[in-house]
Amino acid sequence: MSTLALQYKYLNDKIAIGLSMACAAHCLLMPSFVLAIPLFFSGQLDNEFLHRLMLWVIVPVSLYALSSGYKKHKRMPIFLLGLAGILMLISAVTIEEIFLGEELITLLGSITITFAHFLNWKNCTQK
C-alpha cells in the first residue's frame, strides 16, 4: 500500500481523536464560558442539540476507524475500549435529564475514546 493510501486510511483515527478532544474541550470550557457571558447564551444555545449533533458525527467516524483498525491489528481490547467510550457518550446524552453527572460521563467518554483511537492509530502504524 502506498504511503498516501496509508495516510488516508488512518485519517479517520486522527479525525476521531480531534472530535473527541473537541468534545472534551467543550465539556471543560463551556461552563466557564457560559458563566462569563450569561446574557449571550440565555436561551440561544441548546446544549442537548449540540451533544446530539456531535454524536451523529463521532459515532460513525469512530466505529469505522476502530473497526478498520481492528481488522488490521486484531486487538479486541482497543476496539472494546473505544466502544465503551462511545457508549459513555451516548449514555450521557440519553440520561441527561435524569442524572446530574452527565458532564462527567461525557468527559470520561471523550477521554476513553480518544485514548482508544490513539492506541488504534499506534497499533495500525507500527511495523
Least Cα distance to 55 among 28, 89, 81 occurs for 89
Q: Work out whether the CA dihedral 49, 47, 110, 125 comes out positive or negative.
A: positive
| Highest averaged pLDDT of the listed ranges 6-10, 49-53, 95-99 | 49-53
Separation in Å, CA 122 to CA 19, 44, 54, 66, 116: 18, 40, 25, 12, 10
| Measured CA angle at 104 (ends 100, 110), to 5 deg | 140
pLDDT digits (tens, 9 = 90+) for 26-85: 666 655 555 555 544 445 455 677 778 888 888 888 888 888 889 988 999 999 999 999
pLDDT digits (tens, 9 = 90+) for 100-123: 677 788 888 888 988 898 898 888
Least Cα distance to 75 among 14, 61, 83, 10 occurs for 83
pLDDT value for 39: 47
Least Cα distance to 117 among 48, 19, 7, 25 occurs for 19
Predicted TM-score of the model (pTM):
0.67
pLDDT value for 82: 94
pLDDT value for 9: 62
